[in-house]
């Protein structure tokens, strides 16, 4: 039977360290790290995600500010709000909860966020940086997967990795982050013909398609590491991933459960990025103080 990779436990352990780092920042600059969350409209799932993020802030010593807008908010109003937050020294991270209403220009909103505060990692600079190795903030879900693999001492270099799902927020950045760690990566998507012929080759299989039961044991190599990113709500209200957990557990060497696998790590990486942003700010402040002293 596969070892179950406990994302909840790792997230709890990491949050202890984050709380200490946030405390050190608060001591040094007299203010806790700050995260601003922009929530547009009244989508129930978005409200739950935002509530979880705010709770995680409380647990890690981050000061959160939630700015709520009706779904009729204009593009300009959102851009003006982001411009103010970019200038606000108390805000280290800015997150726009997705999805946004269709009349909002998503690209404009994401590009308006200062690269130095883009803790979701969705700004074009941070996305492009995944290709060149210059990313400031990695997107939280793939970053959480990398942390899970590292915590289990699972080798990435030279491994055959198959990522099922090619979205901009999970599948594509996941593939790039694993390529950067010298894995051989294949990306599959809804139009991939014969998905199983790819997945069966994977030493590490990452599934982020949003299709419950997509991956069955016959599609998995014996001994593979299986990371299930999917979060699907079944008609009876239960939450499930994209992988047939019971069947695949009998074949895999390690597997993440849903819930309790990747999900808690995603939120924790958002906290990590926000605290890292505040720490970068302190280094910048030190450098400008040194420059001033040098000029005097
Ligand atoms: P998305 O934007 O809908 O993208 C889904 C991707 O999966 C697309 O690339 C799609 O292919 C591909 N796909 C769909 N059906 C497929 C199939 N039958 N076979 C192979 N590929 C298929 O979704 P997302 O935002 O990436 O999220 C994916 C899943 O992860 C969802 O269940 C979501 O709830 C979950 N998620 C979890 C976390 C977490 O923290 N655990 C965070 C984010 C998302 P095409 O490109 O060809 O359409």
- Residue 253's closest CA among 212, 204, 208? 204
Dihedral sign, Cα of residue 27, residue 269, residue 110, residue 133: positive
Residue of 153, 96, 150, 98 lying closest to 119 (CA atoms):
96
pLDDT of residue 185: 98
pLDDT value at 6 more than 80: yes
In tens, the pLDDT along 181-237 reads 999 999 999 999 999 999 999 999 999 999 999 999 999 999 999 999 999 999 999
Q: Is 188 left (phi over 0), alpha (psi -120 to 50) or beta?
A: beta
Q: Measured between alpha carbons, how far is 32 from 179 in angstroms, rounded to an integer?
A: 35
pLDDT of residue 285: 80
Instruction: Tell me: cis bond preceding 99? Omega within 30 of 0 counts.
Output: yes
Choosing from 146, 189, 232 the residue with most ligand 1 atoms within 8 A of its CB, the one to mutate for a pocket test is 189
From 210, 215, 233, 259, the mutation candidate for ligand 1 (largest count of ligand atoms within 8 A of CB) is 210
CA of 24 to the centre of ligand 1 (A): 38
Residue 208 sits at φ, ψ, to 5 deg, of -145, 65
Ligand 1 atom closest to Cα of residue 214: 18
pLDDT surpasses 70 at 296 = no
**3-class SS of residue 133:** coil
Q: What pLDDT, in 10s, does the model give residues 13-61?
A: 999 999 999 999 999 999 999 999 999 999 999 999 999 999 999 999 9
Mean pLDDT of the chain: 96
Cα gap 151→7, rounded to integer Å? 10
List, in sequence order, every beta strand (DSSP E) within 143-259.
160-164, 184-188, 204-207, 225-228, 232-233, 239-240, 254-255
CA of 189 to the centre of ligand 1 (A): 8
> What distance in angstroms lies between residue 275's CA and the mean position of ligand 1's atoms?
28
| 137-157: burial string, b at 16+ Cβ within 10 Å, e else | bbbbbbbbbbbbbebeebebe
Residue range(s) occupied by CATH 3.40.50.10860 in the chain: 31-114
CATH 3.40.50.720 positions along the chain are 140-262
Q: Could you list the active site residues?
A: 53, 97, 120
Distance (Å) from CA 145 to ligand 1 centroid: 15
List residues near ligand 1 (CB under 6 A): 141, 164-167, 169-171, 188-192, 195, 208-211, 214, 229-232, 262-263, 266
**In the predicted model, is pLDDT for residue 111 greater than 80?**
yes
Give the residue-averaged pLDDT of 235-253: 97
- C-alpha of 286 from chain center: 29
CA angle 123/124/128 to nearest 5° reads: 125
Q: What pLDDT, on the 0 to 100 scale, is given for residue 284? A: 86
Tell me which of 50, 121, 148, 165 to substitute to probe ligand 1's pocket, judged by most ligand atoms within 8 Å of the beta carbon.
165
| Distance separating alpha carbons of residues 59 and 19, to the nearest angstrom | 7
What sign has the CA pseudo-torsion 36, 42, 48, 49? negative
Q: Which of 120, 139, 117 is nearest to 130 (CA)?
A: 139
- Where does 140-262 sit in CATH, by number? 3.40.50.720
Q: What's the per-residue H, E or C state across 134-171?
A: CCCCCCHHHHHHHHHHHHCCCCCCCCEEEEECCCCCCH
C-alpha 168 to ligand 1 mean position (Å)? 10
Alpha-carbon distance 157 to 103, whole Å? 43
State the Cα–Cα distance between residues 238 and 241, nearest whole angstrom.
Answer: 10
- CATH of segment(s) 31-114: 3.40.50.10860
pLDDT at residue 148 tops 80: yes
Block residue for tokens 């000029």: 295
293: how many CB neighbours lie within 10 A of its CB? 8
The protein residue whose alpha carbon is closest to atom 2 in ligand 1 is 167
139: left (phi over 0), alpha (psi -120 to 50) or beta: beta
């Amino acid at each position: 039977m596969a070892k179950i990779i406990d994302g909840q436990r790792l997230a709890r352990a990491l949050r202890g360290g984050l709380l200490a780092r946030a405390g050190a920042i608060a001591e040094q600059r007299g203010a806790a790290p700050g995260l601003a969350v922009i929530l547009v409209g009244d989508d129930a799932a978005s409200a739950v995600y935002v509530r979880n993020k705010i709770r995680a802030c409380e647990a890690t010593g981050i000061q959160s500010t939630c700015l709520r807008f009706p779904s009729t908010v204009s593009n300009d109003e959102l851009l003006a709000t982001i411009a103010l937050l970019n200038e606000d020294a108390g805000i280290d991270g800015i997150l726009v909860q997705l999805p946004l209403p269709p009349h909002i220009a998503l690209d404009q909103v994401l590009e308006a966020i200062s690269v130095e505060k883009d803790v979701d990692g969705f700004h074009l600079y941070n996305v492009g940086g995944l290709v060149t190795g210059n990313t400031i903030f990695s997107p939280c879900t793939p970053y959480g997967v990398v942390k899970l693999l590292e915590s289990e001492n699972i080798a990435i270099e030279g491994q055959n990795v198959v990522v099922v799902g090619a979205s901009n927020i999970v599948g594509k950045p996941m593939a790039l982050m694993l390529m950067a760690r010298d894995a051989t990566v294949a990306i599959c998507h809804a139009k991939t013909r014969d998905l199983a012929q790819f997945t069966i080759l994977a030493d590490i299989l990452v599934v982020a398609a949003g299709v419950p039961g997509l991956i069955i044991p016959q599609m998995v190599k014996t001994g593979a590491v299986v990371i299930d990113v999917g979060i699907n709500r079944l008609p009876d209200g239960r939450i499930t991933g994209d992988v047939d957990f019971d069947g695949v557990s009998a074949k895999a060497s390690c597997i993440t459960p849903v819930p309790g696998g990747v999900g808690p790590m995603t939120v924790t990486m958002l906290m990590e990025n926000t605290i890292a942003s505040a720490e970068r700010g302190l280094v910048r402040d030190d450098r400008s103080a040194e420059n001033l002293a040098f000029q005097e």
